Amino acid sequence: MERKPRIGIMTGGGDCPGLNAAIRACAKTAIQAGYEVIGIHNGWQGLLEHDDEVLTGQRTSGIIDKGGTILGTSRVSPLRIENGVQRVLDRVDVLGLQAVVVLGGEGTLSLGYKMFQKGVPVIGIPKTIDNDIMETDFTIGFQTAVQVATDALDRLRSTAESHDRVMLLEVMGRNAGWIAVYAGLANGAEEILIPEIPLTEERLDEVCERLKRRRSRGIRFSIVVVAEGTQLLGKPILTEDHGTSADTTAPRLGGVGQMLGEIIEHRTKLETRVSTLGYIQRGGTPVAYDRTLATAFGVKATEMVKAKKYGEMTALKGIRIVNVPLDKVVDRVKTVNRAVYNVAKRFFAR
């Protein structure tokens, strides 16, 4: 009996809500189109270590609302492993994969493009809560993170009001402040600090002055949101142990909220408290928007497999789902849309 054509699918980098919805959509539509679908475990590591499974309709049923990824994830790069590229090429050959669908953020998609250049038939799907991938309006996971951060800010606002405090929330956003801006806007935050706008001495003064003015006008609470990647006086703030995650060399960010909170309290004499949202914004069930976007991307990826659109990525442009070349995406960061930031800014303390 002739073997069905096969495709592989993997998730790499940090997880996010909506990955399973995309895996489900891609696998089910590919099966309908006559493919056998191989789920590769833990990103590129699964190809290096021959760790995979056949994804059936049954295995991919009932997962549209599940957080995380049923395939597991890692940031392992074949480029950093001796003979890694050849091992991946051999495995793709042995499995007979016509395409490898890679769900990734900027790092994983850049790696995917390099692997494509080395001969792997990669098709990308953009996912990251950070929403910092070029050529797509939104990425899978972003809207869920925004909702979680907005809920947290709403809760902080009520306790800020009770205690006459400045409440500061640190959210994720390594290179871009998308979560901070959208959640801050939705909550009506008094200040939003993002990596795109350096926190200089002058800007720090400005922020403190505005918070003090607000208090002197009789408004006794304020909400401040800061993205983890915001540099404080020219320096990125790293976690205390300066550690990295096991499979990456990128330094682990964290702590800018705490430092900023101390500075604000010291300079304004307003009682200030700091919370860090951390991994809560990356876990759990995806909101409806992320499920529908992930499903649309999964369906599109199968169409791209059929059309042999290797080296390309699914993307959202307005309300259209399109494919874009990965070389326009790699090693670049989509920074916050200034028009959106300016809307949020209209409601800052003044």
- What three-state secondary structure class fits 188? coil
- If the CB atoms of residues 20 and 108 are measured against ligand F6P, the closer one turns out to be 108
Among 125-133, 180-188, 192-200, 218-226, which window interacts with ligand F6P (CB under 6 A)?
125-133
Distances in Å between the alpha carbon of 307 and those of 98, 99, 330? Answer: 11, 11, 22
With residue 157 as reference, give the H or E element that holds it: helix 142-163
Cβ-based neighbours of 246, under 8 Å, separated by 6 or more: none
Shortest distance in whole angstroms from residue 243 CB to ligand F6P: 9
51, 52, 90, 130: the catalytic one is 130
Report the residue from 8, 67, 72, 105 that binds ligand F6P according to the rule CB under 6 A: 105
Shortest distance in whole angstroms from residue 302 CB to ligand F6P: 26
> Does residue 129 interact with ligand F6P by CB under 6 A?
yes
State both tokens at 145.
């993170």
> Rounded distance, CA 131 to CA 179, Å?
8
Burial 57-94 (b: 16+ CB within 10 A, else e): eebbeebbebbbbbbbbbbbbbeeeeebbebbbebbee
Query: Which residues inside 219-248 make contact with ligand F6P, applying CB under 6 A?
Result: 228, 245
> Does residue 282 interact with ligand F6P by CB under 6 A?
yes
Asked about 151 being catalytic, the answer comes back as: no
Cβ-based neighbours of 289, under 8 Å, separated by 6 or more: 143, 144
Report the residue from 237, 253, 304, 330 that binds ligand F6P according to the rule CB under 6 A: 253
Q: Token pair 């993307």 is at which residue?
A: 315
φ/ψ bin of 53: left (φ > 0), alpha (ψ from -120 to 50), beta (otherwise): beta
Among 50-58, 89-97, 128-136, 159-167, which window interacts with ligand F6P (CB under 6 A)?
128-136
Report the residue from 42, 45, 110, 128 that binds ligand F6P according to the rule CB under 6 A: 128
Among 3-11, 124-132, 183-191, 321-329, which window interacts with ligand F6P (CB under 6 A)?
124-132
> Does residue 290 interact with ligand F6P by CB under 6 A?
no
Active site residues: 130
Which spans of this chain sit near ligand F6P (rule: CB under 6 A)?
A: 14, 105, 128-130, 172-174, 228, 245, 252-253, 282
